[in-house]
């Protein structure tokens, strides 16, 4: 026996270590893709995995790309009206020349195209100032801009799962404010940057400070871009969005947009050969690519904002897709009972999100269940907060009339039936047997009021 090897652990071979790493990587991938939604633990690490999971899944959705394409088309239609509105407000502030210089700076290789566009906008505005631009032209300007904003809102509402958009009155007031405030902010921001750059350099006439001042102003511009995106994510969707989630998404989307802008401006300096082939038309495909990618970044930021605020909305997503009829019925009755007992106690109605969080239910399933209860005329939708148009639920009838039998019967009868020719006559005995059992069950369940059912009412906080 060789005593020199006594007590020493055998060395692990490289293939063994590699196989262990592969197993761990495979398990981590499976957990990140599907297992994380069934994990009832909290913690910031798990929340980050859920947020990234949901964001990637939504980003890869083909509908997101289609929405970006549709918004790109709307943007092309709205370019001239938007430039006209921007330059018109710029004239009022005396900053039209600054805006023109900024646009030339943003598109250095397309000076000829921009000059033509500015001439077109000038004639557009001159006709308006002379009173010739009325009727059809004004309607087209407002329609293209409002249509673009309406499509942006619809895209954000689709991401957030909001079924109902703003009413016509709120669209007119909100969109008018957006169309007036955003150009003013852009103009003031450009003018302020120029003023601060000139004033600081005069007050501190040191050449070595010029690069630092320039970087500070660039960073201030980046912060304003972050706030612009955060404000869009917070104000445009027709739902309540928390500022912290909107700011986080705004920082990431704003940084991505600024990076795209830098790549686009830098890339235009190397399109001389491209211009030789397409001439001035080379600006069109480049502009389309820029607009498409800009909207993809914007929608991706909206998805990230939604997923960070609603990571529990997709908890147990795989299980919900395969849920049994019996389990869904029990959850539906539980939700209806919660709402009925709160109403009987004169407690304020809860939104779908608050209902899910307070009573330990997956948000997605709670949304589906409440929507079905409204369709069955067992619940009514009420306004909780008029300012944010937040909606909650209450029973659609007296709680004394709301019995377990009534709820089960309405849930079972909801939908289309009796559409197969000759089915009732051919299977009459089967139908009679099923109906007989159901009638016995409903008659017994009619004796039970939902408000009399007991359950653990301690709120659950996540």
CA distance 26 to 98: 56
Taking a C-beta distance cutoff of 8 angstroms, is the pair 384, 348 a contact?
yes
| Domain assignment present for 2 | no
Is residue 239 within 8 A of residue 218, CB to CB? The reply is no
**Tokens 């009420």 identify what position?**
382
Q: Is the dihedral of CA 164, 169, 170, 174 positive or negative?
A: positive
Q: In this structure, is residue 204 part of a structural domain?
A: yes
Query: What local confidence, expressed as pLDDT, does residue 447 receive?
Result: 93
From CA 105, how far away is CA 250, in angstroms rounded? 25
pLDDT score for 18 = 72
Measured in degrees and rounded to the nearest 5, phi and psi for residue 284 equal -65, -55
Out of 41-50, 128-137, 322-331, 334-343, which region has the weakest mean confidence (pLDDT)? 128-137
162 and 261 co-located in one domain: yes
Contact 342, 355 (CB under 8 A): no
In a domain, 235, yes or no: yes
**What is the pLDDT, as a whole number, of residue 171?**
74
pLDDT digits (tens, 9 = 90+) for 90-125: 666 666 676 677 666 656 555 666 676 677 666 666
Q: What is the pLDDT of residue 461?
A: 45
| DSSP bridge partners of 449 | 403
What pLDDT does 438 receive? 92
| Domain C-terminal end among 283, 311, 339 | 311
Whether residue 84 sits in one domain with residue 45: no
Judgement on whether residues 276 and 336 belong to the same structural domain of the protein: no
Give dist(CA 119, CA 452) in Å, integer: 75
Q: Are 121 and 269 contained in the same domain?
A: yes
Rounded CA separation 298/104 (Å)? 24
User: How far apart, in whole angstroms, are the C-alpha atoms of residue 317 and residue 319?
Assistant: 5
Asked whether residue 216 falls in the same domain as residue 235, the answer is: yes
The answer to whether residues 44 and 91 belong to one domain is no
CB 130 within 8 A of CB 205: no
Examine the pLDDT at 431 and tell me if it is beyond 80.
yes
Q: Same structural domain for residues 446 and 304? A: no
Together in a domain, 104 and 253 = yes
Residue 30: which domain range? 16-58
Q: Taking CA 306 as the corner, what is the angle to CA 347 and CA 374, rounded to the nearest 5 degrees?
A: 40
Helices marked H in 269-351: 272-278, 283-309, 317-321, 325-344
Are residues 403 and 450 in contact, defined by beta-carbon separation less than 8 angstroms?
Answer: yes
Looking at residues 325-351, what average pLDDT do you find? 93
**Residue 49: CA count within 13 A, CB half-sphere:** 18
What are the structure tokens assigned to 43, written together? 């913690």
- Least confident segment among 104-113, 242-251, 429-438: 104-113
Asked if 42 contacts 116 with a C-beta cutoff of 8 angstroms, the reply is no
- Whether 461 maps to a domain, the answer reads no
pLDDT digits (tens, 9 = 90+) for 18-37: 777 777 777 777 766 666 65
- pTM of the predicted model, to two decimals? 0.62
SS3 label, residue 351: coil
In a domain? residue 4? no
DSSP 34-89: TGGGG-----HHHHHHHHHHHHHHHHT-HHHHHHHHHHHHHHHHHHHHHHHHHHHH
Average model confidence (pLDDT) across the chain: 75
Residue 3 lies in a domain: no
* Residue 450 DSSP label: G
Is 60 exceeded by the pLDDT of residue 208? no
Q: How confident is the model at residue 287 (pLDDT cuts 50, 70, 90)?
A: confident
How many CA atoms lie less than 13 Å away from 306 in the CB half-sphere?
28
Same domain, yes or no, for 236 and 91?
A: yes
Length of the chain: 462
At residue 13, the pLDDT reads: 63
Which one-letter DSSP state was computed for residue 238?
S
462 within some domain = no
243 and 230 in contact (C-beta within 8 Å)?
Answer: yes
Domain limit, last residue, from 293, 311, 329: 311
Q: How many domains does the chain have?
A: 3
Supply the pLDDT for residue 134: 46
Q: What single DSSP character describes residue 35?
A: G
Same domain, yes or no: 390 and 344: yes
**CATH number of the CATH domain containing 420:** 1.10.10.10
Domain annotation covers residue 10: no
Residue 379, strand partner residues: 395
Percentage of the chain surpassing pLDDT 90? 21
Please report, rounded to a whole number, the percentage of residues in the chain having pLDDT higher than 70. Answer: 61
Question: Across the chain, which distance is largest between two alpha carbons, in Å?
Answer: 109
Domain boundary residue among 268, 289, 311? 311
**370-410 pLDDT per residue, tens:** 999 999 999 999 988 776 667 899 999 999 999 999 999 99
* Pair 38, 140 in one domain: no
Pairing state between β 390-395 and 379-385: antiparallel
| Per-position DSSP letters for 3-44, written without gaps between them | GGGTTPPPPPPHHHHHHHHHHHHHHHHHHHHTGGGG-----H
Residue 382 backbone zone (phi > 0: left; psi -120 to 50: alpha; other: beta): beta
Most confident of 114-128, 138-152, 217-231, 406-420: 406-420
Within 161-278, residue ranges assigned H as helices are 168-203, 210-235, 243-268, 272-278
Question: Do 167 and 249 fall within a single domain?
Answer: yes
Backbone angles phi, psi at 135, to 5 degrees: 65, -110
């Amino acid at each position: 026996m060789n005593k020199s090897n006594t007590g020493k652990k055998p060395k692990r071979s490289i293939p063994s270590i590699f196989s262990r790493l592969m197993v761990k990587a495979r398990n981590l991938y499976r957990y990140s893709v599907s297992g994380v939604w069934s994990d009832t633990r909290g913690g910031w690490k798990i929340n980050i995995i859920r947020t990234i999971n949901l964001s990637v899944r939504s980003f890869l959705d083909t509908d997101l790309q289609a929405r970006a394409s549709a918004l790109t088309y709307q943007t092309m239609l709205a370019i001239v009206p938007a430039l006209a509105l921007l330059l018109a407000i710029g004239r009022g502030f005396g900053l039209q020349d600054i805006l023109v210089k900024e646009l030339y700076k943003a598109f250095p290789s397309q000076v000829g195209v921009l000059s033509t566009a500015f001439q077109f906008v000038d004639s557009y505005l001159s006709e308006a100032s002379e009173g010739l631009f009325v009727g059809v032209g004004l309607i087209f300007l407002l329609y293209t801009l409002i249509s673009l904003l309406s499509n942006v809102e619809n895209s954000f509402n689709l991401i957030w799962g909001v079924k109902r958009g703003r009413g016509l009155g709120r669209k007119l007031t909100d969109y008018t404010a957006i169309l007036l405030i955003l150009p003013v902010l852009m103009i003031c921001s450009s003018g302020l940057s120029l003023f601060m750059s000139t004033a600081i350099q005069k007050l501190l006439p040191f050449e070595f400070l010029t690069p630092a001042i320039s970087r500070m102003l660039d960073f201030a511009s980046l912060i304003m871009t972050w706030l612009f995106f955060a404000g869009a994510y917070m104000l445009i969707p027709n739902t309540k969005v928390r500022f912290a989630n909107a700011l986080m998404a705004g920082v990431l989307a704003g940084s991505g947009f600024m990076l795209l802008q830098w790549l686009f401006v830098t890339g235009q300096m190397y399109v001389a050969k491209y211009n030789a082939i397409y001439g001035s038309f080379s600006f069109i495909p480049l502009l389309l690519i820029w607009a498409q990618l800009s909207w993809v970044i914007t929608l991706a930021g909206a998805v990230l904002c939604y997923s960070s605020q609603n990571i529990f909305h997709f908890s147990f997503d795989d299980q919900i897709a395969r849920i049994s009829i019996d389990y869904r019925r029990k959850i539906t009755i539980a939700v209806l009972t919660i709402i009925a007992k709160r109403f009987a106690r004169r407690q304020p109605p809860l939104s779908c999100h608050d209902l899910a969080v307070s009573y330990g239910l997956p948000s997605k399933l709670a949304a589906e269940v409440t929507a079905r209860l409204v369709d069955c005329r067992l619940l009514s939708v009420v306004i909780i907060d008029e300012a944010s148009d937040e909606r909650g639920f209450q029973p659609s009838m007296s709680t004394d009339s709301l019995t377990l039998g009534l709820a089960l019967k309405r849930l079972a009868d909801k939908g289309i039936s009796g559409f197969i020719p000759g089915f009732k006559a051919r299977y009459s005995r089967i139908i009679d047997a099923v109906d007989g059992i159901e009638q016995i069950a409903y008659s017994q369940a009619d004796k039970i009021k939902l408000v009399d059912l007991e359950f653990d009412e301690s709120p659950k906080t996540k």
